[in-house]
Structure 1
């Protein structure tokens, strides 16, 4: 099939072809009930003939609404964010809202820059991860009065509504489970904490009823491999590994298996997230379930109520749960 390289039709072309004014075409597109049936039919015939596609940007100028919501997340290279965003986009769609996603690499300055871009394209609300943000971001929200919802973190006293987990309680639940299994020497593998308030909160939840050996590493399979090698050489008395992310738990499992260390016979292993890979691994990985899908749905509903009815959402705690599998 050969596509013709013709100039895209615009509002003036439709007006000329249907014999009406540009303003009338605009009314047909935005408030059709205010236009006679005969006029609507004439304009629609011209639209069909010219293959005219109405501009969402032009409509937003007329209506004052873009129906776009922006979401800022650290990365797409993590199934927990993919599940959250999938549920969020689907539920927003049911409400007639569209989602635009931007990644920040966990950098507050980059987050502020991309938040400004989302504002520039007409986003009506922003959804962000965690409670660590730059002064530039905070000033942007104050200046634009942008509805902003924080996810993946629960703090009822935070100055934006939070919809998420008690990360400290999730880590404590994991630690308590391992202690109940008589593990008193536990290695804790966690990601960088500098700009990651969720990771800092998880670390703060560990009460050290057991002897803890902390290892900070990249949130990657390779990072987990490096941390396991370090802990085996510096803390050989360890009997369990608590990973504050399932990505690290999976990488730790691979490295333990490469070294011939049996899980759970020689070393128990546990994560936090409940990624699909944790259930499919062999042995399957015990973890703390973070209901990312529920968080996405609740966030979408909250944003809809805010932008459509000016109802500021209340903070909402998403409950976590222990998933016991074969690795402990």
Structure 2
């Protein structure tokens, strides 16, 4: 073994043939030890595993795919990685997929349907065994692509039991209704709604439909970039309104934190002069000043549920049912009952 080690010492890494030669077996036997060890006689298996350890052999994904016919990775397409809500979702998804021996490859789309199609094609070309998408509105070409590839595809962040794809997510309409209903119960009838771009975002459109379904409120709508800066711009716009809204409902915590920061710079007292409510329940939201009231969206549970659904689909052939996850109102210090005016 020492002589053989010296012979391959100038190589970057040992390969499958190196292991087979050192163990005195065929390449096919090494492959079976890696992919179906129970099919190999114990003594032979132990010998090959010992050599693998001595040579520090790590099979590449490409080699495993050639030998087993599987890449064992799942592709996820998300709008951005700048938002912590997607990071939390992806972490839970990846951890759960790992329990099935599956890996995760992530690609961002910028909410552009054509980019999403191209990114999906790239993931399929390199061997993705399934796709996880955000939302249910996608270009027809994407559905055609996944159908042609017979690729298991799951939609998240949205609950649509009768849609073309199995969905795991929350009812965005209900989440938004919960938001404005809470403000209404606190006596607020003039409410500004701050949201990101509506175009190409089915989640935002659904939330705005939920807002408009609650009557008894005078609304003003602020569509801004989905960023802290966008929230700050919305705050400036809202302060210029006459009469000024008594509460601001933001369709994300990112926007709400931008609003909070801008109002504080302008020395507007929160919640004494104006209440602010977010949506997402990011970890930072309970540490803002004042702590941000928000609608908790169960993104970690959604990631774990999506991982289980895809894992069971790929490993056991179990087609996933639509799964609805409930949002929850989190009351903190940024919302107060409206004083008589």
Could you say which TM-score interval applies, normalised by the shorter chain?
Answer: over 0.9
Q: CA deviation at 1:229?
A: 0.8
Partner of 1:99: 104
Provide, for residues 203-250 of structure 1, a one-character-per-residue CA deviation record: whole Å limited to 9, x for no partner: 011124211000100111111111111121234421111111111110
Partner of 1:121: 126
Provide, for residues 259-296 of structure 1, a one-character-per-residue CA deviation record: whole Å limited to 9, x for no partner: 11100000011111111121111111111110111111
C-alpha contact 1:213 1:235 (8 A) present in aligned 2: no
Q: CA deviation at 1:40?
A: 3.0
Distance 2:191 2:46 in 1: 73
1:220 to 227, 237, 248: 227
Aligned residue pairs, count: 325
Change (3 A) 1:45 1:181: closer
Distance 2:136 2:181 in 1: 26
Distance 2:270 2:223 in 1: 22
1:56-205 to structure 2, matched below 5 A, reads 56-205=61-210
Q: CA deviation at 1:170?
A: 0.7
5+ long unaligned stretches in structure 1: none
TM-score normalised per structure 1: 0.94
Q: CA deviation at 1:42?
A: 4.0
TM-score normalised per structure 2: 0.90
Distance 2:120 2:51 in 1: 39
Distance 1:91 1:247 in 2: 26
The question of 1:283 aligning with 2:290 is answered: yes
C-alpha contact 1:220 1:248 (8 A) present in aligned 2: yes
Distance 2:301 2:58 in 1: 36
C-alpha contact 1:222 1:251 (8 A) present in aligned 2: yes
1:55 to 53, 60, 79: 60
C-alpha contact 1:270 1:327 (8 A) present in aligned 2: yes
